[in-house]
A and B are shown apart, each in its own frame.
Chain A
Amino acid sequence: MWTRLWNKLRAFGAGGKRDRELADELDFHRAMLERDRTRAGLAPDAASRDARRRIGNVAMAHEDARRAWTFTWLETWARDVRVALRGYRRAPGFTLAAVVTLALGLGASTAIFSVVRHVLLAPLPYRDPARLALVWNKWVGFDKTWLSDAEVIDYQTRIAAFQSVAAWNTLTANVTGDGDPVRVGAALVTANIFDVLGAAPLMGRGFTEAEAAADVPVVVVISYGLWQQRYGSAPDIIGRVIPIDGVGRTIVGVMPPGFQLPTDYVISAEEPTMVWAPFKLNSRNRGSHSLYAVARFAPSATLAEASAQVTSLAAVHTREGLYDARMRFSPFVVRVSDEIFATIEPALWLVFGAVGCLLLIACANVANLQLVRADARAREISVRSALGAGGGRLVRQLITEGVVLVVAALALGLGVAAVMIRAFASMSQAMLPRAGAISLDAGVFAFSCGLGVVAVLCFGLVPARRAARANVVDALKDGAGTVSAGVSRRRLRGALVVAEMALAVVLLTGAGLMARTLWSLYAIHLGIQPSHVLTMRLALPETKYDTPERTQVFWDELAARVRALPGVAHAGYLRLVPLASSIGDWGVQIEGVTPEAGSYASADWQYANAGGPEALGERLVRGRWLSDQDTIHAPDVALINDAMARAYWPATDPIGRRFRMISDGADRPWITVVGVVGDVRHNGITGPIKPKFYRAMAQWSRSAGGPARDAALIIKTTTANPYALIDPVRRVVRQLDPNLPIAAIQSGDDIVARAVATPRLTGSLLGVFAVLALLLAAVGIYGVLSYVVSQRRREIGIRMAIGAGRGEVIRLVLSGGLAWSAAGLAIGLAVALAATRAMRTLLYGVAPFDAMTFASAGALLLFVAAVACLLPAIRATRINPVRALRAE
């Protein structure tokens, strides 16, 4: 073995020498022959001719002798490929069907795998992320809310399971200088944030405790993206002073690419933080909850231990009277990866499973097509095997054909995948975490090639094994095309159709359940009318807009100018846009109600002006809207929602009643309720509705100390495309303040779409895959039945000749196909029952075993299968008995 390889390699190195030697040798042989013939008495020219003939085709001999030296397997393989290509060229219909089918299956699987790989499987940009967890609070009315400074300090010092805890608070910042002003997400972070997360700056350093303790933060760390885009990756960025909200801050560090705070993946994904400044926890604040916190577990500490410890600490605090027992205050711990991927992970695995089903269906289809082709080629294969081609040789030929098919399909499939991947990558992070990282890299490519190998094994081996076992004599004895397909062959084909049908049912059921879920979600009354609405966020820098009056002048002027634009029906402000942000609560005191010791009322806080709630399509239940007369000098007024009216004035008309916002150590004015608006789904479409008030924006400073500098501009447009108003609005803003950036521009419809992003993504992908699966299964059953009909032409001809009617023929063909379909349907429904249970967390308003969905999926499949079976059945009735019999 090794000698041979070595000798061959040596000969390869010798190049043309060997050929020359062979030629010389053959020439010598010819000369000897010629001499012997002449000696035997032949004339010299006749001897020469005879010698040449004797030596045969010299060139051929030469070629044969050479073959001993070359890598035959390579040449054989090349020949197999050529044979395969020739075969495929002769059957363009089959080839196209097979390649397109496989390309769809492979392409879709590749694209979904790239999503799974880059979204779920890629590590988070933190050291040892399994030991990181977010800490949340929960109490009556709040499923998941922020922490206070004192709580974070408790966790830093009193929880053994936590090695360290960092906290942050997100906000937005206007970065000016260096070109256009830009509004970016920002966060005030505790100095230890980068240590806790285990992410070191790419350049520069993190923060010191001293910097955090400063009254005004003067240093910032910026994200890689901001450094790249805004500062052109300037190498001397460290130490540069940039104006943020009008105050110069020194850049001390740049984080590496891909770094984000855990909340940037989901919660602040619309405006991920790009600028981080340090702050110091205020140990005296326990009542105001506004912080996110991330904890790193102590070595060998578990999530369960951490949960138990924070829960028991909260119990101690409640006993000590720090929290009202009726609040049922209880913190909880969520692993960071669960926080980020909890919703999307089951959805992605589901879609991945679905696309796997699709690929299997595609393989089953191609296997079927191959089987049909193999039957048509039964004689060719038998002849070759009779001529001495060994079983192994034939199997190799068939596998080569499979490989050629898959390579073509892979090439096309990668194109399909590239298009899909680009679509995924351009999705917003709010819809799909880490969407931007999705790409077709080497790992995805390798996966795709691996799938190709699996595909070859799936559909190539079945015909290959059959060929290897083929009985030469039987196949040659049968005239091609006259045998009815053998029983085992028909059973195999039937099994493939049954499998396709079953997989298609599973996909259809899943897609149906997601469709029902979307339907339920869209049927929820949101309390707003999102169509023809444009929203955007503005934040006025404190340096320039220092007084409530100056702030209000700007807001009023902007609103007036926007309302004057053509195409604007209503325009106004809201503090927070429902579904686009989560809203928190503020402690309130209801006039005439003395709260029991330790407890207080609270409500979510909005502020608004005249036109804001109207523009969003909120509904006025009673009283009046806010008006332009509700200025800072006018009586203090607010709107409340229905939930607040029910909660705090259950028995009376709330109009004219008063409440006030509680602020530590400050005496705040009583606020008169002037209107009640309908409830709005704010924190998520399926989230609970809580009491909420809308304080008049111009009066905000009277209740909160400082003016409302940060707000969303809401515009109800009369034009079909709200985005058409972006430029006119931008011009108006620039006229008023050229340094003021606009951020988070979204239409109302897009906001709603994003709020249902996961079910929409899952639903639409499952829907597309289910339709493809249905089509492929239909093509599969159609192909097999057509083939069966063509194989049974003679039998059908005989039946018709002896008096069978059209109906009987149709029944004959149809019954076979429908029996397969019914079997597939039964198996598929059983599998779907088990599979859809895994979808439970993704569903809303529909049970995983919803009878209606199952029935519809089954009915649709049966219908499509019946149509697919009917076509060949009708063709069977057109068989001319005389011709069919004479064709023998």
Chain B
Amino acid sequence: MRNRTSLSSEILPGTLDVLVLKVIAREPAHGYAIARHLERVSGDALRVGESALYPALQRLLVNGWVTAEWGESDLGRRARIYRITRSGRKRLAQEAAEFERLSGVINAILREA
């Protein structure tokens, strides 16, 4: 039953949600654009499966960190555009700080070893 994507089992759980939130924070985007953007920025190191992305987006919605509305896409089709909320930005700042701290700790350990 644990069908987390390759992503979530390779990097810390919850990371995807933060990354997605970061992408949306730059500018409002639809799901497909978010996936592409993550792949591009990571130099294809992160393959975001759709089956991981959409649950992540739903979680963000449930928590009220993003809102979604239907709008025109570059394809001329109706697409669902996600937009970050104020509480979403606050959350992002917290998570980013936590990440900094954590990666600092990991780095310190790795250097020592």
| Chain A residue with Cβ nearest B57 | A65
With A61-B55, A65-B55 known to touch, is A4 a contact of B30 (CB < 8 Å)?
A: no
Contact partners of A68 in chain B: CB under 8 A: 55, 58-59, 61-62
Judge whether B77 is part of the interface by a CB distance below 8 angstroms: yes
A26 to B59, CA, bound (A): 16
A66 to B63, CA, bound (A): 14
With A68-B62, A387-B2 known to touch, is A21 a contact of B54 (CB < 8 Å)?
A: no
Judge whether A28 is part of the interface by a CB distance below 8 angstroms: yes
Contact partners of A22 in chain B: CB under 8 A: 54, 58
B84 to chain A, nearest CB (A): 15
With A21-B80, A28-B79 known to touch, is A64 a contact of B32 (CB < 8 Å)?
A: no
Judge whether A8 is part of the interface by a CB distance below 8 angstroms: yes
Judge whether B51 is part of the interface by a CB distance below 8 angstroms: yes
A81 to B30, CA, bound (A): 39
Q: Are B63 and A4 in contact (CB under 8 A)?
A: yes
With A28-B32, A28-B78 known to touch, is A69 a contact of B2 (CB < 8 Å)?
A: no
| Chain B residue with Cβ nearest A66 | B58
B47 to chain A, nearest CB (A): 10
Q: Are B50 and A69 in contact (CB under 8 A)?
A: no
Judge whether A652 is part of the interface by a CB distance below 8 angstroms: no
Judge whether A56 is part of the interface by a CB distance below 8 angstroms: yes
Judge whether A35 is part of the interface by a CB distance below 8 angstroms: yes
With A3-B64, A7-B64, A28-B73 known to touch, is A56 a contact of B79 (CB < 8 Å)?
A: no
Contact bitstring A1-25, B, C-beta under 8 A = 1, else 0? 0011001100100000000011011
Judge whether B108 is part of the interface by a CB distance below 8 angstroms: no
Judge whether B87 is part of the interface by a CB distance below 8 angstroms: yes
| Chain A residue with Cβ nearest B13 | A388
With A26-B50, A32-B75, A65-B54 known to touch, is A3 a contact of B2 (CB < 8 Å)?
A: no
A152 to chain B, nearest CB (A): 78
Q: A25: which of B2, B31, B55 is its contact (CB, 8 Å)?
A: B31
| Chain A residue with Cβ nearest B1 | A79
Contact partners of B42 in chain A: CB under 8 A: none
Judge whether B49 is part of the interface by a CB distance below 8 angstroms: yes
Contact partners of A229 in chain B: CB under 8 A: none
A384 to chain B, nearest CB (A): 11
Q: B63: which of A3, A25, A57 is its contact (CB, 8 Å)?
A: A3
Contact partners of A25 in chain B: CB under 8 A: 30-31, 54, 79-80
Which residues of chain A (491-519) have a CB below 8 Å from chain B? none
Judge whether A725 is part of the interface by a CB distance below 8 angstroms: no
Contact bitstring A49-82, B, C-beta under 8 A = 1, else 0? 0000011110011101111110000000000000
Which residues of chain B (1-40) have a CB below 8 Å from chain A? 2-3, 30-32, 35
Contact partners of B77 in chain A: CB under 8 A: 28, 31
Q: Are A31 and B50 in contact (CB under 8 A)?
A: no
A21 to B62, CA, bound (A): 15
| Chain B residue with Cβ nearest A6 | B64
A11, A60, A64: which has the most chain B beta carbons within 10 Å?
Answer: A64
Q: Are B2 and A28 in contact (CB under 8 A)?
A: no
Judge whether A29 is part of the interface by a CB distance below 8 angstroms: yes
Q: Are A29 and B32 in contact (CB under 8 A)?
A: yes
| Chain A residue with Cβ nearest B51 | A61
A21 to B57, CA, bound (A): 13
The total of Cβ contacts below 8 Å across the A-B interface reads 78
Contact bitstring B73-94, A, C-beta under 8 A = 1, else 0? 1010111100000010000000
A24 to B32, CA, bound (A): 13
B60 to chain A, nearest CB (A): 9
Q: Are A54 and B50 in contact (CB under 8 A)?
A: yes
A470 to chain B, nearest CB (A): 20
B63 to chain A, nearest CB (A): 6
Judge whether A130 is part of the interface by a CB distance below 8 angstroms: no
Contact partners of B58 in chain A: CB under 8 A: 22, 65-69
Q: A31: which of B35, B63, B75 is its contact (CB, 8 Å)?
A: B75
Q: Are A64 and B55 in contact (CB under 8 A)?
A: yes
| Chain B residue with Cβ nearest A25 | B80
Q: Are A28 and B80 in contact (CB under 8 A)?
A: yes
B12 to chain A, nearest CB (A): 13
| Chain A residue with Cβ nearest B74 | A32
Contact partners of B57 in chain A: CB under 8 A: 65
Q: Are B55 and A67 in contact (CB under 8 A)?
A: yes
B55 to chain A, nearest CB (A): 4
Contact partners of A387 in chain B: CB under 8 A: 2
Q: Are A3 and B87 in contact (CB under 8 A)?
A: yes
Q: Are B62 and A69 in contact (CB under 8 A)?
A: yes
Judge whether A33 is part of the interface by a CB distance below 8 angstroms: yes
A64 to B4, CA, bound (A): 9
B73 to chain A, nearest CB (A): 7
A25 to chain B, nearest CB (A): 5
| Chain B residue with Cβ nearest A36 | B36
A60 to B53, CA, bound (A): 12
Q: Are A64 and B54 in contact (CB under 8 A)?
A: yes
B76 to chain A, nearest CB (A): 11
Q: B51: which of A21, A31, A64 is its contact (CB, 8 Å)?
A: A64
Contact partners of A28 in chain B: CB under 8 A: 30-32, 73, 77-80
A3 to B85, CA, bound (A): 13
Contact partners of B59 in chain A: CB under 8 A: 68
7 nearest interchain CB pairs? A68-B58, A61-B51, A65-B54, A32-B32, A3-B64, A64-B55, A56-B51
Enumerate 30 A-B pairs (CB-CB under 8 Å) in ascending A order: A3-B64, A7-B64, A11-B62, A22-B58, A24-B78, A24-B80, A25-B54, A28-B31, A28-B79, A31-B75, A31-B77, A32-B73, A32-B75, A54-B50, A55-B50, A55-B51, A56-B50, A60-B3, A61-B50, A61-B51, A61-B54, A62-B54, A64-B3, A64-B55, A65-B57, A65-B58, A67-B58, A68-B58, A68-B62, A69-B62
Q: Give B residues with C-beta under 8 Å from A.
A: 2-3, 30-32, 35, 49-52, 54-55, 57-59, 61-64, 73, 75, 77-80, 87
